[in-house]
A and B are shown apart, each in its own frame.
Chain A
Amino acid sequence: MIEFQDLHKAFDDKQVLQGLSLKIRDAETVVIIGYSGTGKSVALKHIVGLLHPDAGDVIVDGQAVGTLDRNELTLLRRGIGYVFQFAALFDSMTVAENLELGLRRRGLDEEEIQERVREALALVDLSGTGDRMPAELSGGMRKRVGIARAIALRPRYILYDEPTTGLDPVTSAVIDRLMVRTREHLGVTGVVVTHDMRSAYTVGDRIAMLYEGRVRQVGSVAEIQETEDPVVRQFIEGRPE
């Protein structure tokens, strides 16, 4: 289970998170929605210790991430896959090498590594692209490789940072289907940060709206779709005022 406990974070004078509290139960996918710059990605980075909280903390499997030392953090990260907004593929490595890197760190033997790479690429419908460089791939393919890199690790949790941003509707739908498939096949707990409402409705078990640094409303997809909160309504309907 992942739990944000009264999380605060500021960058210089800008207060981004102001008491974020949210529980993510095992095997569910929670989508965090909100306006640009409200700290959705910042919240996600706290889960893997890429950012350190000013106050409050994130609890993952009973461990307060902000208090872990480097070795404990490394062990925690082995159970979490992270899909970055722009994929963050290592551009000096081939697709297969991108997937192998995390697996080698886990001390797996070569046969197991190759098997997992094949399996992960097949799951994202990219079999046969292992020898290609990231620069040769389209935006959608890069995102799928990013997802493959995360699922090859067979993590307990997968964190998706804006997985469909910048993609055309069809490719977005492919990524959505992939996220659903990943949850069904691997049974992982997912946290998805997005402002793409169609994607949120498709992949989320629950949706949490982040507003002014804290959760404005959290509920099932149906509850969010029927909300009477004017701020949430305006956001999900995409109304300018």
Chain B
Amino acid sequence: MIQAIGRRSISAIEAVGRFGQFLMDMTRALADLGVWARLLIGQMRRIGVDSLPVALFIAAFTGVVLALQASYTFTGAVPLYFVGTLVGKTMMLELGPVLTGLALAGRVGASMAAELGTMKVTEQVDALETLAYDPQSYLVVPRVLAATLMFPVIVSFAIATGIITGWLTSLALLDLSTPDFLKGLKLFYLFKDVWFGLLKSASFGFTIALVGCSVGLSTRGGAEGVGRSTTRTVVYSAIFILVLDAFWAVVLL
């Protein structure tokens, strides 16, 4: 029993050490601008454009549900224009970044882990090294930077979509007028709501890409190993997103 706990503790410390080393290697690779800069746009397009439909789909239905649940909760007790307040605040502060982050942990993180894991087990990463490329600057840096830059953009669109569908739901199903919805939306609005959500989403993008690349490049074995890496990436990313979400709430709110 004690031996098992000891083994697990050592293994966990080693994993933290490896992740720290990975982070340091990535920071060092930032100096290799000539390699990663020309790959950055391609990765931004891939992460941004490809992820947008999923993010918007989730946000659209979240906006509808938020408006209906707010109305259901407020009935008779709180003025209905507070529906706008709740939809706006919740989309900007929490559901826009977090739901998008969780969805993209599966979409973006898993895809990175699978791609890099396959490259690892088929010796393409070794081949890259023998061609005098650093896998960190060729594979990791463009992906992590692209995710960090594009997540706030995707989340902005998601927030806007959620608010629009919340407004349309209010018009169509709740007998709430546009001026009333806007009145609620503006009521407790702070600019901080926006940058808080976007900062959070940038940190989610950074974390998801970092986890996807780190787990992908440590893949061992064949197809089974790639499958394990993909699953681990989604699980670790989801955990990190929720921890970061709480961290930013404690630090910034």
Contact = CB atoms under 8 A, between A and B. Distances in A.
Interface of A: 45, 48, 50, 70, 74-75, 77-78, 80-82, 84-86, 88-91, 101-102, 105-106, 149, 153
Interface in B124-167: 124, 126-134
Contact of B130 (A70, A77, A91, A106): A77
A74 B126 contact: no
Contacts, number: 49
Contacts of A149: 131
Contact of B132 (A50, A74, A89, A90): A74
A90 B129 contact: no
State which size class the interface on B falls in. Answer: 10 to 19
A102 B131 CA distance: 5
11 contacts: A45-B126, A77-B130, A81-B130, A82-B126, A84-B126, A84-B127, A86-B123, A89-B127, A90-B128, A149-B131, A153-B131
B57 to A, nearest CB: 27
B124 A50 contact: no
A91 B132 contact: no
A148 B127 CA distance: 13
Nearest to A45: B126
Nearest to A47: B130
Nearest to A103: B131
B78 to A, nearest CB: 54
A88 B132 contact: no
B123 A84 contact: yes
B9 interface: no
Given A84-B123, A86-B122, A48 B134 contact: no
Interface of B: 119, 122-124, 126-134
A88 B131 contact: no
A7 B132 CA distance: 24
Nearest to A74: B132
A229 to B, nearest CB: 33
A88 B134 contact: no
Contact of B127 (A70, A82, A105, A106): A82
B131 A77 contact: yes
B129 A88 contact: no
A78 B129 contact: no
A75 B122 CA distance: 24
Contact of A105 (B122, B124, B132): B132
Given A75-B132, A102-B131, 6 more contacts: A48-B130, A88-B123, A88-B126, A90-B124, A91-B124, A153-B131
Contacts of A82: 126-127, 130
B134 A74 contact: yes
A101 B123 contact: no
B133 A88 contact: no
Contacts of B126: 45, 50, 82, 84, 88
A9 B225 CA distance: 24
Considering the complex of A and B, which 10 residue pairs feature the smallest CB-CB distances, nearest first? A102-B131, A88-B127, A88-B123, A82-B130, A77-B132, A74-B132, A84-B123, A105-B132, A78-B132, A88-B124
A90 B123 contact: no
Contact of B123 (A78, A81, A85, A153): A85
A105 B130 contact: no
A152 to B, nearest CB: 10
A90 B124 CA distance: 6
A153 B130 CA distance: 11
A80 B127 CA distance: 12
A189 B212 CA distance: 39
